[in-house]
Structure 1
Amino acid sequence: MSKEASEIGETPRKDYVDPPPAPIFDTAELKLWSFYRALIAEFVATLLFLYITVATVIGYKNQTDPCGGVGVLGIAWAFGGMIFILVYCTAGISGGHINPAVTFGLFLARKVSLLRAVGYMVAQCLGAICGVGLVKGFMRNPYNSLGGGANSVAPGYNKGTALGAEIIGTFVLVYTVFSATDPKRSARDSHVPVLAPLPIGFAVFMVHLATIPITGTGINPARSFGAAVIYNNGKVWDDHWIFWVGPFVGAMAAAAYHQYILRAAAIKALGSFRSNPSN
């Protein structure tokens, strides 16, 4: 838009197009192969994510040399690096969610339908169970004796602290997902879509550094659920609600912040309502 056009009061046009909101109920998706392909992609991606990350955790804990192994830093890299890889691989097929909290946040923002959101969550949880099951199958003795990579509240912390850590950690992740995939930024910075998996992976990495000592870092209900099912420990199940409530609350807050504050959806809706002559 030229300067002259702006000076005479002409309304500038956006240089990007927001995709239309996804329908809440879209049964037509059930007839599309792309829908089932996306479910398979989410299942396989979550399986691979849990296999690599939980195997890294068990392998580190099984080290006899206290100075050996990958350490907490390496565990955080395993989680963040796998998310980077898997989002890159699956973004064009399923969107690369690999996390029910991410799916929930995108559903609240009307990026996916309810049917797709539920399907993704089921596929993610099943993939997580299978991924952790493979770890147990390959590393049975250390798996059973070293905590199974399951999430629970660490000694010295209470459930309120753990819940807060999960809420804030998931907020960071889902906020990063929204920012990295924002169509406005994608239109103005052509490199953003290509680099989107990188900040998402880094967000996972940074959150793990902060919250591994508190909860072992959930921020992904499928990851926590898969480990809980296979390890099947009373303490893990007692704390398990934290790893659903925390991520879902964090995802809800991130979706509201991005959509209604940063993208000003509420103000735009109010302006449209006021400009409608029938109101």
Structure 2
Amino acid sequence: MKKSLAELIGTFSLVLFGCGAASISGISSTGPAGIGLLGISFAFGLAVVVMAYTIGPISGCHINPAITISMLVAGKIKAGDAVGYIIAQFVGATLGAGVLYLIQGGAPGFTMGEWALGSNGWGAGYLGAYNTTAAFITEAVMTFLFLTVIFNTTSRIGNSTMAGLAIGLTLVLIHLVAIPVTGTSVNPARSFGPAIFAGGLALKQLWLFIVAPIVGGIVAALVYKGIFED
């Protein structure tokens, strides 16, 4: 229960800080503004760094169903714990998006447009207007690289004291590349929370941000097990 609660709080924080930076301070459906792409990238990355050192000793700080499923495939978490983690992550992301919605609703003239609250998406009208193939490849490959860093930095031969920083900085790099394409998910829960409130195209396109990160995470687990695991 403590582990699941830690995952809920961690995912809540990731969505509130990351999506909050994007939707309040950083970027709109038409392009960057405010803190811009770099600022949003660091908001997500720093949120992971902070949570890694806060809840990492309790739950391992997955705060991402793709990570939990990948860890399950690699045999690093039990199925029962994985189910509890995933439920907590989706609940935390939804609560984080709900709080963000309440905050943004307090702004004069606020309206829920397409892809509101930092929702992920692709295609005409969304940032770089990349197609479905580009969006899927981006999400799957970036998640694969993200999990590769996570597996190896947290392994027995990795530097565990620096793992949180390395993982957070990897997420910064991922956002620097992927934001114009999909807004960057690599995390089904992070996409789920905002999409539930935004509805419309954000909800219709949610499937890609569930499937692609999970595919990338599973491939990373298989590569780690087959090649890198000591």
Instruction: Output the TM-score relative to the length of structure 2.
Output: 0.90
Q: Which residue of 2 aligns with 1:172?
A: 145
Q: Which residue of 2 aligns with 1:109?
A: 74
Q: Which residue of 1 aligns with 2:195?
A: 228
Q: Which residue of 2 aligns with 1:136?
A: 101
Task: Please state how far the C-alpha of 1:263 moved relative to its aligned partner.
Answer: 2.5
2:1 matches 1:39? no
2:86 matches 1:86? no
User: Closer, same or farther in 2 for the Cα pair 1:143/1:83, shift >3 Å?
Assistant: farther
Q: Which residue of 2 aligns with 1:119?
A: 84
2:213 matches 1:247? yes
Deviations 1:51-95 (A, max 9, x none): 1111111123579xx996211000000000100110111111001
For 1:143 and 1:111, the matched residues in 2 are separated by 43
2:163 matches 1:196? yes
User: SS of the residue aligned with 1:93?
Assistant: helix
Q: Is the 8 A contact 1:135 1:143 kept in 2?
A: no
Q: Is the 8 A contact 2:120 2:182 kept in 1?
A: yes
Task: Please state how far the C-alpha of 1:45 moved relative to its aligned partner.
Answer: 0.9
For 1:258 and 1:62, the matched residues in 2 are separated by 35
User: SS of the residue aligned with 1:76?
Assistant: helix
Q: Give unpaired runs (5+ residues) of structure 1.
A: 1-35, 187-191, 265-279
User: SS of the residue aligned with 1:202?
Assistant: helix
For 1:79 and 1:61, the matched residues in 2 are separated by 12
For 1:67 and 1:237, the matched residues in 2 are separated by 22
Deviations 1:165-217 (A, max 9, x none): 0001101111111011111x14xxxxx11111011001111011111001000
User: SS of the residue aligned with 1:260?
Assistant: helix
Deviations 1:9-28 (A, max 9, x none): xxxxxxxxxxxxxxxxxxxx
For 1:215 and 1:78, the matched residues in 2 are separated by 17
For 1:78 and 1:211, the matched residues in 2 are separated by 15
Alignment-mate amino acid for residue 217 of structure 1: T
Root-mean-square deviation over aligned CA pairs = 1.8
Q: Is the 8 A contact 1:55 1:135 kept in 2?
A: yes
Structure scoring higher RCO (CA < 8 A, sep ≥ 6) equals 2
For 1:197 and 1:243, the matched residues in 2 are separated by 24
Deviations 1:219-276 (A, max 9, x none): 000000011112122x112211110110001001111111101237xxxxxxxxxxxx
Length, aligned pairs only: 220
User: SS of the residue aligned with 2:134?
Assistant: helix
Q: Give unpaired runs (5+ residues) of structure 2.
A: none
Q: Which residue of 2 aligns with 1:75?
A: 40
Q: Is the 8 A contact 1:73 1:209 kept in 2?
A: yes
2:127 matches 1:160? no
Q: Which residue of 2 aligns with 1:263?
A: 229
Alignment-mate amino acid for residue 100 of structure 1: P
Alignment-mate amino acid for residue 79 of structure 1: F
Instruction: Output the TM-score relative to the length of structure 1.
Output: 0.75
Kindly, what percent of the aligned residue pairs are identical? 32
Divergent runs of 4+, >3 A: none
Alignment-mate amino acid for residue 112 of structure 2: N
2:120 matches 1:151? yes
Q: Is the 8 A contact 2:27 2:37 kept in 1?
A: no
